[in-house]
């Protein structure tokens, strides 16, 4: 039988596709098993997250020698504390070996024994002849068939699925201990009584009030800082508009633009004295341009100095305005801001006359005024809360020293 005929009866699609199909079915079963576990363990019958509650005690020493014993509880999603089975088939190896061996050997030989001998005389020559014939024949045939079929499946636990991990992270961000009850104890953890208990309760109340005021103060300072940043941004916009205008004027009045033309006229005057008047006029224009350029440069320096100084000390200026207690009716002169004074020439061109105080009519004046008032308002709020905190801490110090409570009904 030919070697190719040895494979004719094998169904290779079943040999290879069967294990792969079974692996795919197993993957689906494993995925369903993970989903069922999450539904059964992670959620209740109403579809809400199932939590497990942990209770514990937290002891905090106080400044007056007492301690606060808090009964705490924290609820954690069940899925966050139990291992989630998430088996997945990682690899399927199918090994099929078939070895066919076939060999044939044919030997033929004939053993015949025949001997012939003879003698003849040819004159003086004598000839002797002897001969034999042998033959041997044998047939040998052998064959060997072997087959090996091996399927290797590897599966590992992939832990929490990515989507569930993100959900648990969002839940964990909202997990916080819950205070169930709070009791005051002495330094040894024993119950307080009488005046000692009354004093400890008073101090506890004051500590809570101080903590609340400090939180309000922190939020107020954040708001004040944000309003200062806004005020500086508006100032930057106004300053950049001035810089753009002065930069354009400096380019227009650049004295070097007359150099080439003046050189040509000077050369022309040597041969044509009538060009002298034109040369003098051009030189005068260059001198005017130099004066304008120097004026614009001086204006730019004053503008930069004014607004840069404001950027550095804006917070201090706002605090001064807030402490003054007055309501600004315009952008405060305390800022010492400068603006460009412009005028229109007879030919309709706009020229820069010099520097003036920053006042209404400037492009960002209204925005500056609004940002200033908002910053002052927020700073006043900070100052009021700081005063409240100082008074509350003073009250706490008095309570620590044993002073009587002030009579608030008087």
The structure tokens listed for 129 are 């002849």
What is d(CA 162, CA 174) in angstroms, rounded to the nearest whole number? 19
Which of 6-35 are b and which e, b meaning 16 or more Cβ less than 10 Å from the residue's Cβ? beeeeeeeeeeeebeeebeebeeebeeebe
Question: What tokens appear for 123 in the block?
Answer: 């004159």
Give whole-number Cα distances, 360 to 331, 339, 357, in Å: 8, 10, 10
> According to the 3-state scheme, what is the secondary structure of the chain?
CCHHHHHCCCCHHHHHHHHHHHHHHHHHHHHHHHHHHHHHHHECCCCCECEEEEEEEEEEECCCCCEEEEEEEEEEEHHHCCCCCCEEEEEEEEEEEEEEEEEEEEEEEECCCCCEEEEEEECCEEEEEEECCCEEEEEEEEEEEEEEEEEEEEEEECCCCHHHHHHHHHHHHCCCCEEEEEEEECCCCCECCHHHHHHHHHHHHHHHHHHHHHHHHHHHHHHHHHHHHHHHHHHHHHHHHHHHHHHHHHHHCCHHHHHHHHHHHHHHHHHCHHHHHHHHHHHHHHHHHHHHHHHHHHHHHHHHHHHHHHHHHHHHHHHHHHHHCCCCCCCCHHHCCEEEEEEECCCCCEEEEEEEECCCCCCCHHHHHHHHHHHHHHHHHHHHHHHHHHHHHHHHHHHHHCCCCCCCCC
Q: How far is Cα 374 from Cα 368, in angstroms, rounded to an integer?
A: 10
Nearest to 168 by CA among 54, 56, 41: 41
**Residue pLDDT tens, the chain, 410 long:** 555 565 555 666 776 777 778 878 888 888 888 888 888 888 888 888 888 888 888 888 877 778 788 888 888 888 888 888 878 888 888 776 766 555 555 554 445 455 555 555 544 445 455 555 555 555 555 555 666 777 788 888 877 788 878 888 887 787 888 888 777 777 677 777 787 788 888 888 898 899 999 999 999 999 999 999 999 999 999 999 999 999 999 998 899 988 998 888 888 888 888 888 888 898 998 998 999 899 999 999 999 999 999 999 999 999 999 998 888 889 999 999 999 998 877 777 778 888 999 999 999 999 999 999 999 999 999 999 999 999 999 998 888 887 765 555 44
Are the C-beta atoms of residues 382 and 217 closer than 8 Å to each other?
yes
| Degrees, nearest 5: CA angle 108-114-118 | 145
β-partners of residue 144 are 101
What pLDDT score was predicted for residue 33? 83
Residue with tokens 């005063």: 387
Quick one: pLDDT at residue 17?
Answer: 76
Pick from 297, 200, 201: nearest CA to 253 = 297
C-alpha dihedral sign at 370, 371, 375, 376: negative
Please compute, for residue 191, the number of CA atoms within 13 A of its CA located in the half-sphere on the CB side: 2
d(CA 45, CA 47): 5
What pLDDT does 1 receive? Answer: 52
What whole-number distance in Å separates Cα of residue 45 and Cα of residue 151?
42
Indicate the pTM of the whole model.
0.59
Give the integer Cα–Cα distance in Å for 328 and 370: 10
Q: What are the boundaries of each domain within the chain? A: 199-401
Please report the pLDDT score of residue 184 as a whole number. Answer: 78
C-alpha dist (Å) from residue 346 to 284, 343, 349, 350: 19, 10, 7, 9
- CA triple 209-211-216, angle to 5 deg: 95
Token code pair at residue 59: 């002891």
Residue 215 is predicted with a pLDDT of: 95
Task: Provide the pLDDT for residue 353.
Answer: 86
């Amino acid at each position: 039988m030919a070697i190719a005929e040895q494979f004719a009866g094998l169904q290779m699609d079943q040999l290879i596709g069967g294990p792969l199909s079974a692996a795919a079915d197993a993957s689906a079963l494993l995925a369903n098993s993970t989903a069922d576990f999450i539904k059964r363990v992670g959620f209740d019958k109403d579809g809400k997250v199932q939590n497990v509650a942990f209770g514990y005690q937290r002891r905090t020493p106080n400044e007056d020698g007492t301690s606060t014993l808090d009964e705490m509880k924290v609820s954690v999603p069940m899925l966050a504390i139990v291992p989630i089975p998430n088996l997945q088939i990682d690899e399927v190896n199918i090994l099929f070996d078939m070895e066919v061996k076939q060999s044939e050997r044919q030997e033929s030989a004939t053993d015949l024994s025949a001997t012939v001998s003879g003698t003849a005389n040819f004159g003086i020559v004598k000839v002797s002849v002897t001969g034999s014939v042998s033959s041997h024949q044998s047939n040998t045939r052998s064959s060997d068939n072997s087959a090996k079929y091996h399927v290797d499946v590897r599966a590992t636990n992939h832990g929490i699925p990515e989507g569930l991990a993100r959900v648990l992270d969002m839940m964990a961000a909202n997990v916080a201990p819950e205070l169930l009850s709070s009791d005051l104890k002495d330094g040894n953890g024993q119950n307080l009584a009488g005046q000692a208990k009354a004093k400890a309760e008073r101090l506890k109340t004051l500590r809570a009030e101080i903590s609340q005021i400090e939180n309000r103060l922190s939020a107020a300072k954040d708001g004040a800082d944000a309003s200062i940043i806004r005020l500086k941004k508006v100032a930057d916009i106004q300053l950049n508009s001035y810089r753009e205008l002065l930069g354009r004027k400096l380019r227009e009045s650049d004295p070097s633009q007359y150099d080439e033309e003046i050189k040509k006229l000077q050369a022309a005057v040597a041969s044509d004295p009538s060009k002298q008047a034109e040369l003098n006029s051009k030189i005068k224009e260059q001198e005017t341009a130099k004066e304008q350029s120097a004026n614009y440069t001086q204006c730019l320096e004053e503008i930069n100095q004014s607004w840069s100084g404001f950027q550095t000390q804006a917070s201090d200026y706002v605090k001064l305005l807030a402490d003054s207690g007055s309501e600004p009716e315009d952008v405060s002169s305390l800022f010492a801001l400068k603006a460009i004074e412009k005028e229109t020439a007879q030919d309709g061109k706009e020229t820069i006359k010099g520097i003036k105080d920053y006042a209404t009519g400037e492009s960002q004046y209204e925005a500056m005024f609004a940002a200033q008032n908002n910053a002052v308002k927020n700073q006043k709020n900070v100052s009021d809360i700081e005063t409240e905190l100082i008074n509350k801490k003073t009250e706490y110090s008095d309570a620590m020293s044993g002073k009587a409570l002030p009579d608030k009904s008087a």
